Structure 1
Amino acid sequence: MKFSTRAIHAGYQAKAHQGAVMPPIYQTSVFAFEQIGADMEFSYARSGTPTRAALEDCFASLENARHGMAFASGMAAIDGVLRAFLQPGDEVIVVADLYGGAWRLLSKVMAPLGIKVSFVDLTDPANLEAAINPAVKLVWLESPTNPLLNLVDIAALSAIAHAHGAHVAIDNTFATPYLQNPLDLGADIVVHSATKYLGGHSDVLLGLVALNDDALQQKIRFIQNSAGNVPGPQDCFLVLRGIKTLALRMERHCDNAEKVAAFLVDHPAIEKVFFPGLTDHPQHALAKTQMRRFGGIISIYLKEDTREAANRVATRLQLFALAESLGGVESLVNHSWTMSHGSLPPEQKRALGLREGGLRLSIGIEDIDDILADLAQALA
C-alpha cells in the first residue's frame, strides 16, 4: 500500500473492535484477567492499550519500521532513547544546531550523570570521522535542523557511525515520514515530536519512536514502561486521527512554504531566508535526493537585527500566532532566541547562527494569498 492508504488503514482492524471504523478510545487503566497467570496482550495502561497499539503500528508502517513506540511527549521519546544507549563514561555526538529542548536535556540532565556530550558540525561527514572514538555509543542527528534548516547526509553519517560501532538516532519532526524516511537511509532510530505535524492541529502532546532492531526495541520499551513516560488514550487517538490527513496537509504546507520563500527572498526587510527548497541553500542538492519535498518551515534574518524588530513583525502578523510550536494547520511564528532556544547561553546562540532579529515561520495550510498578504503588511 502507498503512504496515504497506510496512513488511514495501517495498524487497525475494525473486526477486532466490534466493527468500529475509527479506533476506539480505551479509557481504562486496567484490563481484567481471565485467571491468575493468564497471558494478556493488555493488562495495565502504562504498559499498553489498544488505542496506543493502533497508533504505534500505524506510525511504524509510515516510517518503514518493524516497531513504533508512543511516549508522553517528544522530549520523553528523546529521553527514552538516550537512556537506552548511554551510561556514565559513554559519549554521544550531537549535531551542533539542534532543538533547544534537546540541548537542555543533553547538557543539563545527561552530562551531569557522567555522559560526555560533544556538539559537532555534521553538515560535513568528515567532521564525524574526525570526532568519533570508541567511547561514542550514539550519534544524534536532526535534518532539517531547528531553526536554521541545515541538512546532514543521513546515509554517509550512518555509514561512518556503524563502522565505528555506534548507533544513529535522528529527529525527523520537521520532515515527517511523508517527506523523509531515515531508516531507509541507514539510521537506526527515528524520533518525532508528534505534537507537531503528525498530530497536525496543535491540540495534543506526544512523542514517537520507530526502529527495526528487536532487542533495542525491548530495551527502550522496558525503560519507557519502568519510567511511565507514556501517553493517554485520548492523545493517541488524536495523533492517529491527525495522521490520516498527513499526506494532504504536507502537500499544502510544502506548496505554501515554497511560495512564501520565493516572496521573502526579494523582500527589502529580509536579509536572509533559510529554506532547503531555495537553490542557494547549501544543502539544496542533498535535500532533493534525501527528501521528497522541502517541508513547511522557513527561517529568516531581518535586516534590522534587534529583538524589537522581530517583535514588531511578530505582533503585526494577524494569521500567524506567536507560539512555541510548529506543524499545525495554522501558521505560527517563533522567536527562536527567546522561545525554542531560550535555554541556550547567548554566546552559544550566536555561534550557532541564531539572531535576536531572526524568526522561524511554520507555514500553515491557509489560502496562500492570505498568508502572503499578512506577511506583506507585517513586514511593511
Structure 2
Amino acid sequence: MRTKTKMIHGGITGDENTGAVSVPIYQVSTYKQDSVGNHRGYEYSRTKNPTRHALETVIADLENGQSGFAFGSGMAAITSVMMLFDSGDHVVMTDDVYGGTYRLMTSVLNRFNLDHTYADTSVPEKVEASIKENTKALYIETPTNPLLKITDINKMADIAKKHDLLLIVDNTFATPYWQQPLDLGADIVLHSATKYIGGHSDVVAGLLAINSDKLAEDIHFIQNSAGGVLGPQDSWLLMRGIKTLAIRMEAIERNTKKLVEFLQQHEKVSSIYYPGLKSHMGHETAKRQTTGFGGMISFDVGSGVEADKILSRVQYYTLAESLGAVESLISVPAKMTHASIPADRRAELGITDGLVRLSVGIEDVDDLIEDLAQALK
C-alpha cells in the first residue's frame, strides 16, 4: 500500500459492528467486564481507548512501525520518551531544537539528573565528539525549527548502532508523507500532531511510532503510568486530519516553492532557510531521505523592528504560535516559539531578532505573495 492510500485505508479505519466508515468516538472512561479480570480488550481508558487505539494503529502504519502511541501534546510525547532513561543518563540532542524541548531538558528534566549535550547533528563528527560513557540516545530534529537544518538520519543510525544508543527523530516538519525515519534506522519517531497531522488548528496532540516490541512495551507502561494520554475526541480529529494530509502537503509545498522564489528576489531579505534551495547546506541530504521539502520557510529581514513591521502589515498570514495548518501562519521565533532559549544561545545558533518564520498554508499563492510583498514594501 502506497503512502497516500495508507492515509485513507491504513490502520483501523471504521467500525465492524455497525459498518460505519469513520471510527466512532468512544467517549467512555471504563468498560464492563464479563467477570473479574475478564474484559474484551478494554478496561480503563487511560490504559486503552478504542478511538485512541485506532489512531495509534494508523500512525504506526504511516511510519512503517510496529506500534503507535498518542499523547495529550507533543511535549507529553517527548517527556514520555525521556522517561525511558534513568537519573545520570545522557542524551545528545540537535542544537537547533524546538524551544519547548530546550525548556523541558534545561528546566525540568535536569532536576532529575538527566544530562544532555547540544550538538550540530548535521555534522556527524560533532555528534561523535559529544558522546559520553553514560550516553543512551541521540535525539534529532530534521528539518529543525526554525533554521531548517537537515541531519542525515542514516549516518545518525550508524553512529547510534556503533555506540548502542537509541535514535529518536522528531519528524514534525517533514511529516510521515515526506519522510519515514524508521526506514532509515531510527528507533522512535515522534510528532507534534498539533501541526501538520491535525492540520486545522483545532487539536493539541503528540504521536510516537516505534519499531521494537520491547520499546513499545516500555512506552506503553510509561504512557499508562504517567497518564498523558490523548482523549477520544482529539484522537478522532487527528484521524480525520490524516485522511487529507497527503493532498494538503502537496498543495502546501507548491505554494512554498513559489513563495521562496519571490523571497529570493526581494532586496530586504538577507537570508532564506529552506531545504528545497540548492544553496541550502542540507539540500542534497534532504533529497536523499525525503520525498518533499515541506512548507516551512524562515527568512531574515535584518532587525526586530523590520520583522515587527511585516507582522503588523500582513493580512492573510495569521500572527500565531504553531505551524502546519491550512491557514498560513507567521511568527518571529526569537520572541515567540524560541523565547524560552536565552538570547546569547539564540545568537549563537543564528536565531536573530529579524528572523521571520512562515508556515505556508493552502490559500491561493498569488494572494500570499501579494500580501507578503505589500508587507515588505
TM range (shorter): over 0.9
2:350 corresponds to: 353
Amino acid at match of 1:144: P
TM-score (norm 1): 0.98
1:168 aligns with 2:167: yes
2:346 matches 1:377: no
Alignment of 1:107-186 (within 5 A): 107-186=106-185
SS of match in other structure, 2:70? strand
Q: Is the 2:195–2:322 contact (alpha carbons within 8 Å) kept by the matching residues of 1?
A: yes
Shift of residue 123, structure 1, vs aligned partner: 1.0
Counterpart residue type for residue 80 of structure 2: G
**Which aligned pairs between 1:239-318 and structure 2 lie closer than 5 A?**
239-303=238-302, 305=303, 307-318=304-315
What amino acid is aligned across from residue 280 of structure 2 in structure 1?
A: H
Map of 1:68-107 to 2, 5 A cutoff? 68-84=68-84, 86-107=85-106
92-101 or 307-316, larger mean C-alpha shift: 307-316
2:223 counterpart of 1:212: no
1:65-112 superposed Cα distances (whole Å, 9 cap, x missing partner): 11000000000000000111x211110000101000000001111112
Q: Shift of residue 114 of structure 1?
A: 1.1
Residue 50 of structure 1: aligned partner: 50
Q: Which moved more, 1:96-105 or 1:42-51?
A: 42-51
Alpha-carbon deviations, 1:295-316, whole Å to 9, x = none? Answer: 000001003x1x2211110121
Look up the equivalent residue of 1:280 and give its one-letter code: S
CA contact (8 A) 1:301 1:358 kept: yes
Secondary structure of the equivalent of 2:16?
A: helix
Q: Percent identity?
A: 47
State how far apart, in whole Å, the 2-side matches of 1:210 and 1:12 are: 15
Shift of 1:9: 1.5
In 2, distance between residues paired with 1:37 and 1:82? 32
Q: Name the CA shift for 1:21/1:112 in 2 (closer, same or farther; >3 Å).
A: same
> Contact 1:81 / 1:220 at 8 angstroms: preserved in 2?
yes
Shift of 1:131: 1.8
* Distance (Å, rounded) in 2 between the aligned partners of 1:253 and 1:284: 19
**1:48 counterpart SS class:** coil
Could you tell me which runs of 5 or more consecutive residues in structure 1 were left unpaired when the two chains were aligned. Answer: none
Would you say how many aligned residue pairs link Structure 1 and Structure 2? 377
Is 2:358 the counterpart of 1:368? no
User: What displacement does 1:322 show?
Assistant: 0.6
Whole-angstrom CA distance in 2 between matches of 1:109 and 1:374:
41
Contact 1:123 1:150 in 2 (8 A): yes
Query: What RMSD, in angstroms, separates the aligned Cα atoms of the two structures?
Result: 0.9
The residue aligned with 1:330 is 327
Aligned-pair distance for 1:4? 1.6
Q: Deviations over 1:224-256 (max 9, x none)?
A: 111110011000000000000000000011111
1:15: Cα distance to partner?
5.0
Q: Is the 8 A contact 1:197 1:326 kept in 2?
A: yes
Higher mean C-alpha displacement, 154-163 vs 243-252: 154-163
Amino acid at match of 2:29: S
TM-score between the two structures when normalised by the length of structure 2: 0.98
The CA deviation at 1:132 is 1.3
CA distance change for structure 1 residues 118 and 321 in 2, over 3 Å: closer, same or farther?
same
Conservation of the 8 A alpha-carbon contact between 1:134 and 1:164: no
| Equivalent AA in structure 2 for residue 25 of structure 1 | I
Tell me, yes or no, if the aligned pair for 2:15 and 2:23 is still in contact at 8 Å: no
Q: Which runs of 5+ in 2 are unaligned?
A: none
In terms of mean alpha carbon deviation, does 196-205 or 31-40 score higher? 31-40
